Structure formats: C-alpha cells, structure tokens
Structure 1
Amino acid sequence: MAHIFNEENISYKLKESKIPEFSWHSSQELSKIVNSQNLKFDLRMLDSGKYSYPYHFHRNAEEIFIILSGKAMLRTPKKFVELNEGDIIFFEMGPEGAHQLYNHTQKPCKYLDIRTDIGIDVCEYPDSNKINILPYQEVYQKNSTVDYFKGEDKVKEKWGEKFSR
C-alpha cells in the first residue's frame, strides 16, 4: 500500500535540548506510521541560528538528507559546505560519514532525513568523545574503554563449587 505524506497531513513538534542551540522541529517519525521494517524517516525543520544533532556518525546506519526548502551549512570531517534546496546528501557508516547541520540563514531549512534501521546502532560523537547505543539511548564516555577480559578472572567463583574441579 502506498502512503502519501504532504503538508496537509504532517505536523511538526519542537524538539529542544538542554543546550538551546540544538533545537529542531520534527514530524512524528513517519516510518512508524507505515510500520517500515528497514528504514527510518521523518521531516525536520531547522530554524535560523540552530544546529541539528551534535556532530556525529553511525556505525550501523546509512543516512540521506534531502533539502526540501531553505539552506543550511553542513559540517563533515573534511569541509563545511552550503546545502541548497534540492540537494541530496548521503552519509556512509563510520567516521567518514560524520555530519552536522547549522542553519546560517534567516529562513527555516526543511529536509527529509532517511536512515537505515537494521538493528542496534552505535552513534559516536567526536566532539564530546561519547557513544550512544541506539535505539536504547544509552550514552557513555568513549574514553572509559576497558580490556575485554577485565573483571573476568574469577570465573570459577561465579560458577560455584558444584561445577569446579
């Protein structure tokens, strides 16, 4: 069944953070309405002087932005570039796909955000050295990594006397 979305059947909700510069309007996640299995998509609107999510990349998701109206500056690992209406931007998995938008104009920037959803994703934030386990929203400082076997040295005690030789 085809599902058609347009200005008449889409509403936006303001998403604000503790940091006022990170604020955007988002449609309800359209992919949930249609019960999409492998794609997440929604419309976003970035007001003047606002940033999208913190600078980040995904370990297990590809993402595409389609600029529907307005302009925004895109930050990538190698450059800053102005995006215009009609631009289609693909972000690959991994550090090379890191991105963030900033609306440097006086008019809102509307864009379609499409991303793959094939299970658990790890989103990394290079500016703050954090990782986020999605969809659970478990956020950790990346610099607290430990050796794989840390704390595993007393395995016999955890099994108890019954099974120890």
Structure 2
Amino acid sequence: MAFVINEKTVSYVQRRSPVPEFAWHTTEGLSKRLGSEHMKFEVRSLDPGLYSYPYHFHRNAEELFIILSGKAMLRTPEGLQEIGEGDTVFFGIGPEGAHQLYNHSETPCVYLDIRTDRGIDVCEYPDSGKLNILPEQQLFRRVDEVDYYEGERNVKAIWGGLGQSPQDAGPEA
C-alpha cells in the first residue's frame, strides 16, 4: 500500500526539552503508524533560533535528512555548513556521521528525517560524553566506562551461592 505524505496529511506535535534551545515539531510515530518495519522516519520542523537534537552520532543506524523547505546550519566533524530546500544529507555510522542542526534563519526549516532500524542502537553525544541505548532510551556517561572484566573476579563465589561449585557443574549441567 502507498501512503502520500505532505503538508496537508501530516500533523505535528511540539517536543520541548528541559533545555529551551532544543525544541522542534515532529510527526512523532509516523513510520510506525504507517506500518514501516525496517525504517524510521518523521517530518520535523525546526523553528528559527532553535537546535535539533544535541550533537550526536549512531553506532548502528544511518540517517538521512531531506530538506523540504527553509534552511539551517549543519554541524558535522568537518565544521559548519548551510543547507537548504532540496538538499539531501547522509550521515553514516560512527563518529564521522556526527550531526546537529541550528535554524539560523527567520523561517522554519522542515525536513524529512529517515533512519535505518536494525534493532538496538547506541547513540553517542560527543559534547556531553553520554551514551544512549535506543530504543530503550537508557543514558549513561562515557566517563563511567570500565574494563570488560570489571567486577568479574568472584566467579567461584557467585557459583557457590547458586548451590553448587564450579567443579560440580559438568557438561550435563
């Protein structure tokens, strides 16, 4: 089945954050409502003087912006660049794909935000050192990063607390 999406067929919900500079209008849940299984997409509108999401990149998702109207400044690892109506911008996986928009103009910037959906994703925020496990929205600070074996030194005691020793747990266990 085909669905036509345009200004007449979408309605926006305003999303605000506790940080007033981050606010946008979004079709929120559009891809899910249309039955998309492998793509996430929303039409977003960024008002003048506001920023999109915090500067970030994805570890397991590619993202594509298609600017439908207006213009904005795009921040990437390469610096700042103005983008506008008709531009398509691709963001790859990893730090090279980091991005953020700022609407420096006097009119809204409306864009289609498309993201691949391959299950669990980790979104990283270089400015604040956070990690976000998506879609659960579990946030952690990178500064708390630990070694793989951190806290794993008492394995025999843990097994002993389970009612059997490691020696008793053979191949049949």
CA distance in 2, matches of 1:79, 1:28: 29
Task: Give the corresponding residue for 2:27.
Answer: 27
Structure 2: 5+ residue stretches without partners: 168-173
With the length of structure 1 as denominator, give the TM-score of the two structures: 0.97
Q: What does the per-residue CA deviation read over 1:3-45, in whole Å, with 9 as the maximum and x for residues that have no partner?
A: 1222222100110000000000001221101221110000000
Does the 8 Å contact 1:49/1:102 carry over to 2?
A: yes
CA distance in 2, matches of 1:73, 1:4: 28
SS at match of 1:31: helix
Which structure is larger by alpha-carbon Rg, 1 or 2?
2
Does the 8 Å contact 1:67/1:112 carry over to 2?
A: yes
Q: CA RMSD, aligned part only? A: 0.9
**After the TM superposition, which residues 56-135 of structure 1 pair with which residues of structure 2 at under 5 Å, given as runs?**
56-135=56-135
Q: What does the per-residue CA deviation read over 1:84-106, in whole Å, with 9 as the maximum and x for residues that have no partner?
A: 10000000000000000000011
CA distance in 2, matches of 1:28, 1:22: 16
For residue 146 of structure 2, what is the amino acid of its counterpart?
Answer: V
Which segment drifts farther, 22-31 or 54-63?
Answer: 22-31
Which segment drifts farther, 76-85 or 29-38?
Answer: 29-38
Structure 1: 5+ residue stretches without partners: none
* Alignment size in residue pairs: 165
CA distance in 2, matches of 1:88, 1:110: 12
SS at match of 1:162: coil
CA distance in 1, matches of 2:41, 2:145: 32
CA distance in 2, matches of 1:116, 1:80: 25
For residue 133 of structure 2, what is the amino acid of its counterpart?
Answer: I
Runs of 4+ in 1 over 6 A off after TM superposition: none
Task: Give the corresponding residue for 2:156.
Answer: 156
Shift in Å at residue 156 of structure 1? 1.2
Alignment of 1:3 with 2:3, yes or no, is yes
